[in-house]
Structure 1
Amino acid sequence: MAGKLMNAVQYTAYGGGPDGLQHVEVPVPTPSKDEVLLRLEAVSLNPFDWKVQKGMLRPFLPRKFPHIPASDVAGEVIEVGPGVKNFKPGDKVVAFTSRNGGGLADFAVTKESLTVARPPEVSAADVVGLPIAGLTAHQAVTQSAGINLDGSGKEANILVTAASGGVGHYAVQLAKRGNAHVTATCGARNIELVKSLGADEVLDYKTTDGAALNSPSGRKYDAVIHCANGIPWSTFEPNLSPNGKVIDITPGPTSLVTFALKKLTFSKKQLVPLVLIPKGENLQCLVNLVKEGKLKTVIDSKYPLDKAAEAWAKSIDGHATGKIIVEP
């Protein structure tokens, strides 16, 4: 593929939102050691992508301009770099490109260690939401909340906020697999969907009880998988069990201050900031669950690559149900 050009979407400066995206032709990347080159079939957008564009992670990301965003990809292996042992051209896979992006294009390179085989009966769209949203939910449920996905262990009471969103809809399903009693919050239009994913109780976040996070059955939460924004610690605290914790998947300055204060005062109720550490074996676990029909990706909408700006705007809007997917 050396010397060939591909279609891609990039931006050349911070800010600009959807209008800052540019459609360009750039060289197809070449896989280096331990990398594979994929012809992409599906790309999943995440809030992380447009937050990088806004400059919320400067000066760390992006590492340079112009920048091709998006990190969740699924497609077919076209070429393998030196040292790759587990893949060959023609293999169908899902992968995480790393936080350097590169996904909004016809082709992308990924590390072998963060690339997982996709069963032939599973479509690219079925698994492309797993690398960031699925792995975040998996880490929150299994590591931060301590739930075993095989259902062993003590039953826990779990609250998932923004349960119809990208991370939330996976977290509901995984917590239920782990024998938890799941309370969830979402908008009124998504209540039946979230129930269908396994939630035992669903609250409309715009109602009084929903805003207060009150469990309809009066339960206190052992862990909150917090996927929403703008809920203060004072709302969580009275709803937590004596050793309850709030797992914040998008920790900001306020969360970090609360985390530090709770540690310094030896509080039994803790706020736990989650920083995703993507692991190939966890991605494999999620792909297996999808194959077995035990986990599903809810797809909000699909866009072709030439409509990527519309997909970008939809993600920024913040009301997607499940995942927004671009199909090159």
Structure 2
Amino acid sequence: MASKLMHALQYSGYGGGADSLKHVEVAVPDPKADEVLVKIEAATLNPIDWKIQAGALRPFLPRKFPTIPGTDVAGEVVQAGSAVKRFKTGDKVVAILSHANGGGLAEYAVAKENLTVTRPPEVSAPDGAALPVAALTAHQALTQAANIKLDGSGERKNILITAASGGVGHYAVQLAKMGNTHVTATCGARNLDFVKGLGADEVLDYKTPEGASLNSPSGKKYDYVIHGASGIPWSTFEPNLSATGKVIDLTPTPSAMMTFALKKLTFSKKQLVPLLLIPKTENFDYVVNLVKEGKLKTVIDSKHPLKKAEEAWSRIMSGHATGKIIIEP
């Protein structure tokens, strides 16, 4: 299909925010042997998308300019590579694209077979597209970094989730409550009832003295912190942690990496653990199936047409989205 053109959004250098996004007509990509070509029905943005544009991972990402950003898509397979076994033309899927190549803000994208899963009829395209980075990050943080068993078994743990009304946070609260946990969460004042409705046991307004100090209203010390906010120093976390408490940092900064190294070197039982998402097909299938069964819900902040995707970009940069921002053709 390479001779056919498609509408896409791209940028040609670092910086510039939404103003640097350009609407272009480019060739529909051809799938390699292990890839499927997906006609996109919905895509979603994550904070990492605008951070890459801002140069947070330069010179490694993006791999080349111009680049079409976006990694989380749902749609229909229109062509399968020669080595693809699990999918055929017409299959409805959810896929996570690589940050190196992106491609989500377009009418079509190519996805690796091993990073693509079937989307059942019960899961809408927007609900499916919202899942990859956000839900998989929450799942990995809870089940692998924090060793929470989502079947409710295991000893009870006290969990703190920061930025609980955001993309990762709103999934993390729901998933954590499937386990044997007491969940304290932080968010802005306007989202207190929303986060409580997701299942959090205690909710703190992060702008109040109690919220800023992260003190649990019931006096609990946290065994694990799923940390998706920014600007909170280790010194704020440390007195709130249990003797072996760990802060699982979803967006580690250079100073956080220094704290991680220092705690390792001094054999501290309280640890800061940087998390790097490693998508796995079985985890991907698991979260999609939870949505199918009505056990995990996607909260959509706003929807934007591809032709006005700059609005979605500005919204994700604001840091005030409740749930996920969706882009549709």
State the TM-score bracket (shorter-chain normalisation): over 0.9
For 2:257 and 2:215, the matched residues in 1 are separated by 24
For 1:137 and 1:188, the matched residues in 2 are separated by 22
Q: Which residue of 1 aligns with 2:47?
A: 47
Q: Which amino acid aligns with 1:138?
A: H
Q: Which amino acid aligns with 1:3?
A: S
Q: Which amino acid aligns with 2:118?
A: A
Q: Which residue of 2 aligns with 1:280?
A: 281
Shift, 1:184, TM fit: 0.2
* Residue 251 (structure 1) aligned with residue 252 (structure 2): yes
For 1:260 and 1:226, the matched residues in 2 are separated by 18
Q: Which residue of 1 aligns with 2:327?
A: 326
* Residue 89 (structure 1) aligned with residue 89 (structure 2): yes
Q: Which residue of 1 aligns with 2:204?
A: 203
SS of the residue corresponding to residue 177 of structure 1 reads: coil
Q: Which amino acid aligns with 2:82?
A: P
Q: Which residue of 1 aligns with 2:157?
A: 156
- Structure 1 runs (4+) deviating above 2 angstroms are none
Q: TM-score, normalised by structure 2?
A: 0.99
For 2:247 and 2:22, the matched residues in 1 are separated by 39
Q: CA offsets per residue over residues 219-270 of structure 1, 9 Å max, x none? A: 0000000010000111100100000000000001010000011011110000
Q: Which amino acid aligns with 1:279?
A: K
Give aligned pairs, total: 328
Shift, 1:126, TM fit: 1.0
Q: Where in structure 2 are there 5+ consecutive unaligned residues? A: none
SS of the residue corresponding to residue 285 of structure 1 reads: helix
Q: CA offsets per residue over residues 69-117 of structure 1, 9 Å max, x none? A: 0000000010000110111111111000111210000000000000000
For 2:26 and 2:276, the matched residues in 1 are separated by 32
Q: Which residue of 2 aligns with 1:303?
A: 304
Q: Which residue of 2 aligns with 1:317?
A: 318
Shift, 1:292, TM fit: 0.7
Q: Which residue of 1 aligns with 2:5?
A: 5
SS of the residue corresponding to residue 120 of structure 1 reads: coil
* Residue 228 (structure 1) aligned with residue 229 (structure 2): yes
Shift, 1:278, TM fit: 1.1
SS of the residue corresponding to residue 93 of structure 1 reads: strand
Shift, 1:284, TM fit: 0.5
Q: Which residue of 2 aligns with 1:260?
A: 261
Shift, 1:2, TM fit: 3.1
Q: Which amino acid aligns with 2:181?
A: A
SS of the residue corresponding to residue 74 of structure 1 reads: strand
For 2:184 and 2:240, the matched residues in 1 are separated by 12
SS of the residue corresponding to residue 69 of structure 1 reads: coil
- State the Cα RMSD in Å: 0.7
Pairing of 1:85-234 with structure 2 (within 5 A): 85-99=85-99, 100-234=101-235
Shift, 1:201, TM fit: 0.5
For 2:122 and 2:131, the matched residues in 1 are separated by 16
For 2:296 and 2:48, the matched residues in 1 are separated by 23
For 2:128 and 2:153, the matched residues in 1 are separated by 26
For 2:16 and 2:128, the matched residues in 1 are separated by 30
Task: Provide the identity percentage.
Answer: 73
For 1:33 and 1:51, the matched residues in 2 are separated by 31
Q: Which amino acid aligns with 2:75?
A: G
Q: Which amino acid aligns with 2:73?
A: V
For 1:191 and 1:154, the matched residues in 2 are separated by 28
For 1:121 and 1:90, the matched residues in 2 are separated by 16
Q: Which amino acid aligns with 1:64?
A: K
Q: Which amino acid aligns with 1:52?
A: I
SS of the residue corresponding to residue 75 of structure 1 reads: strand
Q: Where in structure 1 are there 5+ consecutive unaligned residues? A: none
Shift, 1:213, TM fit: 0.5
Q: Which amino acid aligns with 2:124?
A: S
For 1:31 and 1:275, the matched residues in 2 are separated by 27
